[in-house]
Amino acid sequence: MPNMKEIKNHINSVKDTQKITNAMYLIASTKLRKAKRDLDQTLPYFNALRGEIKRIFRTVGKVNNRYFYPPDTEERTLPGTYGFLVITADKGLAGAYNQNALKEAQRMLAQHTAGDNMIFVVGEYGRQFFASRNVPIEKNFLYTAQNPTLQRARNITSLLLDLYNKGELVKIFVTYTDLGSGLESTAKTVRLLPFHRSQFASADKEEKVKVPFEFSPSVDGVLNSMIPSYVSGFIYSALVDSFCSEQNARMTAMDSANRNAQELLDELSAQYNHIRQSAITQEITEISAGALGQRRYTQRLEGDTGP
């Protein structure tokens, strides 16, 4: 059984760890609120941009554009190289956040084995995961996982669209973690390009625009100028959503760690008090026994010197 000093040292160690986990919980909470606020400030613009793209399809019957599937089909298997943007965190201590995202990425990669895949990774955790399995990575975007900004999203968009426009990529997928309602995060994969026309179809069956628009220089040219901004908005949203999911998972993990630490402290305190009480009881017993022995010894001496 450990002595009182060892238990005391263990209690102090757990308290120090608890201070760290509690600080990490507060930091994650602050980052989560800030990221949500930044996303809320930019979403109206991209929602309006999506509305304008929908308006184009309501105005023009058939649109041939390289960012969309041909009008005669909504989806088909395209031969060629697929691009996968996988969003993870730079570090762990966030529950199953990274593992779930990487499992989803592996599932998608296993579905496409006909051609080569280009993997683009956000987050040091994902880079180390693929590197440990000798999976080549086309590009690793440094510092983006911990600082998702619109400019970083535009940099990612510029690289992906350049490869797509050159024909080096025929499809682009994004694997990220959707925070949803905030109760439970879900790792998911969304096809970024090419788009389905149904993605911009009106759910309420709006009527076609009665007064036709004039597109300059052309419908295709207008779409070509709007799509990069829309893609940047989607990637930025996925980055922030993943970042919020990471912080939410870290908050949950740190809260669980705090509760476990408190339970361990309660057990150690009870054990410490038990040993301390035993030590006190033993000391009292020893003192009582010593006093009794001294009294008997004194009585014996008085008996020997009596008349």
Distance between CA 171 and CA 77 in Å, rounded?
A: 10
Of 202 and 218, the one with more pLDDT:
218
Q: What is the mean pLDDT of residues 269-294?
A: 77
Least confident range from 77-81, 146-150, 222-226: namely 77-81
Say what the pLDDT of residue 175 is: 93
256 HSE (CA, 13 A, CB side): 9
Higher local confidence (pLDDT), 274 or 120? 120
Question: What mean pLDDT do residues 138-155 have?
Answer: 86
Supply the pLDDT for residue 158. Answer: 92
Judged against a pLDDT cut of 90, whether residue 205 lies above it is answered with: no
Give the residue among 191, 122, 194, 119 at the shortest CA–CA distance from 164. Answer: 194
Which residues of the chain form beta strands (DSSP E)? 82-87, 117-122, 139-141, 171-178, 186-193
Of 77 and 126, more confident: 126
Contact 258, 22 (CB under 8 A): yes
What average pLDDT does this structure show over 8-33? 84
Residue 157's alpha-carbon distances to 34, 151, 243, in angstroms, are 23, 10, 18
Of the ranges 109-113, 125-129, 258-262, which one carries the lowest mean pLDDT score?
109-113
Confidence of residue 253 (pLDDT cuts 50, 70, 90): confident
Q: State yes or no: pLDDT of 110 exceeds 70.
A: yes
- Reported as a single tens digit per residue, the pLDDT across 152-199 is 999 999 999 999 989 888 889 999 988 776 667 788 898 888 887 766
- In a 10 Å sphere around its CB, with 0-12 CB exposed, 13-18 middle and 19+ buried, how is residue 82 labelled? buried
Mean pLDDT of the chain: 80
Kindly report which listed range (20-29, 215-224, 226-235) carries the lowest average pLDDT score: 215-224
Q: How confident is the model at residue 213 (pLDDT cuts 50, 70, 90)?
A: low
* pLDDT value of residue 159: 93
User: Is the model more confident about 307 or about 253?
Assistant: 253
Determine the Cα–Cα distance for residues 301 and 240; give it in Å rounded to an integer: 89
The reported pTM is 0.77
Q: Is the pLDDT of residue 10 over 90?
A: no
pLDDT at 87: 92
- State pLDDT tens for residues 52-95: 777 776 666 667 777 777 665 555 667 788 899 999 988 877 78
Q: How confident is the model at residue 305 (pLDDT cuts 50, 70, 90)?
A: low
pLDDT of 71: 60
